[in-house]
């Protein structure tokens, strides 16, 4: 036989025996997954067409049988039995017999344990979401309480703080973030300067670009952009780290050793963030102003001296101090929610992933909401 | 106060019920663990053995009932009392639960640094001793990710033993280990129990371990949501008539899959 040509190997039905009496169905060939569809269709028509009084299925001609094939044969038997036609298999080869024995079990027909998941209607969804939101709020409040307790304890007992960990996170959240924070704030300063110059051109008031950039960056965009970057870098990292520790039972181990997980794991991260984010913000402020300076000097015919002079004239100590206080609050929010999401992880990798995402989203949301409050408060305090 | 009365059990569980949401895992379970014995908690998958263990070490609060460890109700203990109690208990979790960012040395030294006034040199000596006891001498500077599963468990055990606890808890100590390593773990458990008199509470379903090491066992069952057998494992195997217990101890399939028809 030419091994290159594939001959479609199917099966063959051969009926013999007296009509109305016990008939013999000789099946030969190959019954497998590929031929299952056709086999079942043939079986559909078999009983109405032949109407046997009894059925004897001769399996001696079967060359190949897999589990789908065996299932098909059992299916045949079931149909016969449902029509009260006496049925037997004969002349099964040893392998075929073993396969039939393996599959012949009542569990083939077990009804599903879970019936029909009803998808919730709109009101049910709204209700569920509200409950989930309330539960989440409750959990966050609980954690905030724990964290404040932990931070207060650290203030009173500074030697109990894991300072090595604090330094480690200060480097990770602070130093390692310098390149990206400086780049982004530089570009933002650049863009603000450029966009505002297009308008101020009409008034020949290019010098005001300097004060616009300075005020926008120092009061709002510096702390905000830094906060968002830190949320993305460190908020997520804290959630992932603590979340993975939850999955590995490391947090359970800490508890059984008598350690308080909040003090051991969360406090160092929050302290590190609160120490380092204000510095990052100052850095962002400087680079933002530099971005504006570049535009001013290269495209707006301003001198470095006049730009810098006007910048220093526009920003006040109050601006800088309030912006630093804002950044400390942002730091606490971001690192806090990162840790809280991490502690909420139950399960496996998927849960860690969603906790990480949630930490970033919640962190950014909180920063922006609190920033609005600050905007209002500072406006009246000024 | 620590009870040293040999008659009094070191752990006493009275009528605890464990629930997760609507589902009851354990219903009114009671038993005692005596000082110095090697006590095993057995059962099929889903019977609640790990849940029970977590109640014993105070990670879960029972829905009802009490767990008294060394005379103190662990779920109701004050923070200070609880920390004192925890110093006397060591727990080995299923995969060791070592802190991934610390070396083996730092992991084992953690309780020593937190709870003793020992000098770094003294801590160094003790950590080496603990690691040597579990045959991990030389691995002080390794990180957990650099170790095999069996080694992580042993390191976890070294950490659990750091303060010479009076009770050691094990969650499936031989799970996933090859027969030789599993036998070594059994031997370790036995020698620590003999050498230091530590009470051992082991959650397991490793039959050779159970017969080789445990002096007394309780068997939990998912359907019964509680204890279906209690006593010496060999005696139970001989005398029990409960089919669930028979199948477990004789490693038989419950449905009795018939090969011949």
SS3 string, A49-84, reads HHCCCEEEEEEEEEEEECHHHHHHHHHHHHHHHHCC
CA B110, distance to chain mean position in Å, is 20
Residues of A in contact with B55 (CB under 8 A): none
Coil vs helix vs strand at B19: strand
- The pLDDT value recorded for residue A138 is 94
Q: CA A273 to CA A174: how far, in whole Å?
A: 8
pLDDT reading at A67 higher than 90:
no
Residues near A328 by beta carbon (within 8 Å), at least 6 away in sequence: A274, A277, A278
DSSP string, A309-357: HHHHHH--HHHHHHHHHHHHHHHHHHHHHHHHHHHT--SSHHHHHHHHH
- Chain B nearest C-alpha distance from A227 (Å): 26
pLDDT reading at A49 higher than 80:
no
- The pLDDT value recorded for residue B107 is 96
* Residue B145 DSSP code: G
pLDDT in tens, A252-279: 999 999 999 999 999 999 999 999 999 9
Q: Which CATH superfamily is domain B36-54+87-249 in?
A: P-loop containing nucleotide triphosphate hydrolases (3.40.50.300)
Q: What CATH number has the domain spanning A11-108?
A: 3.30.750.24
- The pLDDT value recorded for residue A215 is 94
Q: CA B136 to CA A381: how far, in whole Å?
A: 64
- Confirm if B228 and B242 have CB atoms less than 8 A apart: yes
* Residue A160 DSSP code: G
ipTM of the complex: 0.86
pLDDT in tens, B31-53: 999 999 999 999 888 888 999 99
- Chain A nearest C-alpha distance from B86 (Å): 6
- Chain B nearest C-alpha distance from A303 (Å): 52
pTM of the predicted model as reported, rounded to 2 decimal places: 0.81
pLDDT reading at A4 higher than 70:
no
For chain B, the structural domain boundaries read 36-54+87-249
Q: CA B167 to CA B91: how far, in whole Å?
A: 9
Nearest to A252 among B59, B111, B115 (CB): B59
Nearest to A181 by CA among A331, A270, A269, A283: A283
Coil vs helix vs strand at B76: coil
The count of other CB atoms within 10 Å of the CB of residue A176 is 12
Reported as a pLDDT band with limits 50, 70 and 90, residue B5 is low
For chain A, the structural domain boundaries read 11-108, 161-381
What mean pLDDT is reported for chain B? Answer: 90
- Confirm if B75 and B13 have CB atoms less than 8 A apart: no
Residue that has been written with the tokens 């932990």 in this structure? A150
- The C-alpha angle with vertex A181 and arms to A180 and A187, in degrees rounded to 5, equals 90
Coil vs helix vs strand at B225: coil
- The lowest-confidence range among A35-39, B88-92, B228-232 is A35-39
Look at A189 and A12; give whichever has higher pLDDT.
A189
Interface touch B97/A258, C-beta < 8 Å:
no
pLDDT reading at B113 higher than 90:
yes
- Confirm if B243 and B66 have CB atoms less than 8 A apart: no
- The lowest-confidence range among A38-47, A148-157, A204-213, A342-351 is A38-47
pLDDT in tens, A279-293: 999 999 999 999 999
């Amino acid at each position: 036989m030419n091994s290159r040509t594939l001959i479609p190997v199917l099966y063959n039905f051969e009926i013999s025996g007296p009509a109305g009496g016990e008939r013999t169905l000789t099946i030969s060939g190959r019954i497998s997954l590929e031929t299952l569809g056709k086999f079942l269709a043939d079986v559909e028509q078999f009983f109405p067409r032949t109407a046997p009084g009894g059925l004897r299925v001769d399996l001696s001609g079967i060359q190949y049988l897999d589990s789908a094939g065996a299932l098909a044969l059992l299916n045949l038997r079931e149909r016969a039995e449902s029509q009260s036609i006496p049925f037997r298999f004969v002349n099964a080869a040893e392998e075929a017999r073993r396969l039939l024995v393996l599959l012949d079990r009542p569990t083939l027909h077990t009804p599903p344990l879970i019936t029909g998941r009803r998808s919730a209607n709109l009101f049910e969804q709204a209700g569920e979401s509200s409950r989930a939101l309330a539960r989440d709020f409750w959990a966050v409040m609980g954690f905030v309480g724990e964290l404040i307790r932990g931070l207060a304890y650290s203030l009173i007992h500074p030697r109990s703080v894991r300072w090595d960990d604090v330094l480690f996170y200060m480097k990770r959240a602070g130093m390692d973030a310098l390149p990206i924070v400086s780049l982004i704030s530089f570009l933002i300063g650049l863009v603000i300067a450029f966009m505002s110059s297009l308008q101020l051109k009409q008034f020949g008031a290019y010098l005001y670009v300097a004060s616009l950039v300075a005020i926008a960056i120092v009061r709002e965009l510096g702390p905000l952009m830094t906060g968002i970057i830190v949320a993305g870098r460190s908020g997520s990292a804290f959630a992932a780290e603590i979340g993975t520790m939850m999955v590995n039972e490391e947090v359970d181990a800490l508890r059984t050793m008598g350690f308080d997980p909040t003090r051991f794991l969360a406090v160092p991260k929050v302290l590190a963030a609160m120490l380092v984010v204000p510095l990052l913000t100052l850095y962002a402020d400087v680079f933002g102003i530099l971005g504006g300076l570049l535009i001013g000097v290269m495209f707006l015919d301003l001198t470095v001296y006049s730009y810098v002079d006007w910048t220093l004239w526009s920003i006040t100590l109050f601006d800088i101090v309030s912006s630093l206080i804002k950044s400390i609050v942002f730091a606490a929010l971001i690192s806090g929610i990162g840790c809280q999401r991490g502690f909420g992880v139950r399960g496996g990798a998927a849960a860690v992933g969603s906790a990480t995402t949630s930490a970033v989203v919640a962190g950014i949301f909180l920063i922006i909401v609190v920033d609005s409050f600050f905007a209002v408060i500072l406006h009246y305090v000024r | 106060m620590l009870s040293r009365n040999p008659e009094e059990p070191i752990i006493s569980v009275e009528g605890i019920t464990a629930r997760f949401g609507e589902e009851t895992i354990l219903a009114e379970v009671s038993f005692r663990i005596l000082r110095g014995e090697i006590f095993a908690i057995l059962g099929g998958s889903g019977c609640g053995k790990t849940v029970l263990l977590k109640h014993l070490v105070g990670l879960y609060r029972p829905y009802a009932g009490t767990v008294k460890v060394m005379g103190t109700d662990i779920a109701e203990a004050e923070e200070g009392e609880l920390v004192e109690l925890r110093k006397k208990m060591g727990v080995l979790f299923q995969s060791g639960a070592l802190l991934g960012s610390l070396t083996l040395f730092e992991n084992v030294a953690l309780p020593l640094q937190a709870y003793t006034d020992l000098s770094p040199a003294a801590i160094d000596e003790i950590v080496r001793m603990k690691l040597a006891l579990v045959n991990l001498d030389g691995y002080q500077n390794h990180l957990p990710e650099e170790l095999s599963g069996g080694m992580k468990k042993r390191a976890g055990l070294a950490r659990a033993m750091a303060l010479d606890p009076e009770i050691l808890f094990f969650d499936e100590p031989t799970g996933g280990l090859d027969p030789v390593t599993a036998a070594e773990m059994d031997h370790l458990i036995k020698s620590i129990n003999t050498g230091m008199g530590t009470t051992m509470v082991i959650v397991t379903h490793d039959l050779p371990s159970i017969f080789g090491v445990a002096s007394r066992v309780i068997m939990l069952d998912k359907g019964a949501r509680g204890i279906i057998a209690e006593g010496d494992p060999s005696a139970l195997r001989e005398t029990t008539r409960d089919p669930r217990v028979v199948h477990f101890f004789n490693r038989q399939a419950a449905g009795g899959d018939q090969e011949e028809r």
